[in-house]
């Protein structure tokens, strides 16, 4: 079933949340630079610039697309009103000529059918050329070169944790349930508040979380379907002592927890456009061809 379109305010709030998540990701990238490693510093600086330019461009495109869609909607409403007025005028003329009510119904049905066909054409174009499909195809191409395919995870707020749990399973590691991962993540956050508090802010005020708000954040991680992002990825990498590679449609994949090189790598895909309500994580698995070879 199609998701309801976002309002302009909801889109703006979504962009605001994405920028905050990006800043958290940037801080984590900066902290990964070893002191005196100029090469790594240069690479991270270039990656940060790319990430900032990418989100700025994408959000501008999304806002323009939203405005265009709503202008189109308004134009269609005006056109419908004009057609309706025309039908009303015709009805007056038809009364004089004693045209039947059946004719009016046929005209209205024809107008509705025309609008329906137009919506179908527009939706088919979106399905092929829309950002969701373009992004998914780009990720599939990256994975195909590595003999991997997307393993879809439900979009229920638990996607990050369930994707990691799936990776642990196929890597032959000790399995951890969704509940286990959330509980361990929350406990680690509580025990290392000073490390992560600077990366978390109140969405209403933009101020850093207070200790009380931070505790609520940890409780939400443990007990609700709160979405996990860059901070939670960093925590999970430390808990599992393994690197986590995140593959995106644009730009090079980024790896969290390079220092845990002895652990089996967890590979996730990050989708910005798969669902309108926000970003989404999927897992990956070997392609059928690779498994048969």
Q: Which positions are catalytic?
A: 156, 159, 280
Q: Are 147 and 285 in contact (CB under 8 A)?
A: no
Q: Are 166 and 149 in contact (CB under 8 A)?
A: no
Query: Residue with structure tokens 């510093």?
Result: 41
Q: What is the DSSP code string of 77-120?
A: HHHHHHHHHHHHHHHHHHHHHT--HHHHHHHHHHHHHHHHHHHH
* CA dist., res. 254 & res. 23, Å (int): 15
Strands 244-247 and 266-275: parallel
Q: What is the DSSP code string of 206-272?
A: -SBPPHHHHHHHHHHHHHS-PPP-HHHHHHHHHHHTS-EEEE-SSS--EEE-GGGTTSPPEEEEEEE
* CA dist., res. 38 & res. 234, Å (int): 23
CA atoms within 13 A on the CB side of 100: 4
Q: Are 280 and 160 in contact (CB under 8 A)?
A: no
**How many degrees, rounded to 5, is the angle at CA 130 between CA 129 and CA 136?**
95
């Amino acid at each position: 079933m199609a998701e309801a379109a976002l309002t302009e305010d909801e889109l703006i709030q979504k962009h605001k949340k994405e920028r905050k998540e990006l800043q958290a990701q940037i801080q984590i990238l900066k902290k990964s630079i070893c002191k005196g490693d100029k090469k790594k510093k240069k690479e991270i600086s270039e990656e940060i610039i790319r990430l900032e330019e990418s989100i700025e461009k994408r959000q501008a495109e999304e806002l323009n697309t939203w405005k265009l869609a709503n202008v189109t909607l308004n134009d269609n409403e005006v056109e419908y009103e004009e057609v309706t007025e025309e039908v009303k005028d015709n009805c007056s003329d038809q009364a004089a000529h004693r045209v039947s009510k059946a004719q009016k119904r046929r005209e209205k049905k024809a107008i509705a059918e025309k609008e329906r066909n137009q919506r179908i054409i527009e939706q088919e174009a979106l399905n092929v050329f829309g950002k969701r499909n373009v992004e998914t195809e780009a990720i599939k191409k990256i994975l195909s070169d590595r003999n991997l395919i997307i393993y879809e995870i439900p979009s229920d707020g638990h996607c990050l944790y369930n994707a990691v749990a799936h990776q642990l399973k196929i890597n032959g590691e000790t399995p951890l349930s969704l509940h286990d991962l959330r509980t361990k993540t929350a406990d680690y956050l509580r025990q290392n508040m000073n490390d992560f508090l600077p990366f978390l802010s109140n969405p209403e005020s933009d101020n850093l979380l207070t200790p009380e708000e931070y505790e609520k954040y940890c409780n939400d991680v443990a007990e609700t379907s709160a979405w996990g992002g860059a901070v939670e990825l960093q925590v999970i990498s430390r808990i599992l002592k393994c690197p986590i590679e995140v593959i995106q449609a644009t730009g090079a994949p980024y790896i969290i927890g390079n220092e845990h090189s002895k652990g089996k790598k967890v590979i996730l895909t990050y989708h910005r456009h798969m669902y309108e309500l926000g970003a989404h994580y999927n897992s990956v698995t070997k392609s059928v061809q690779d498994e048969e070879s």
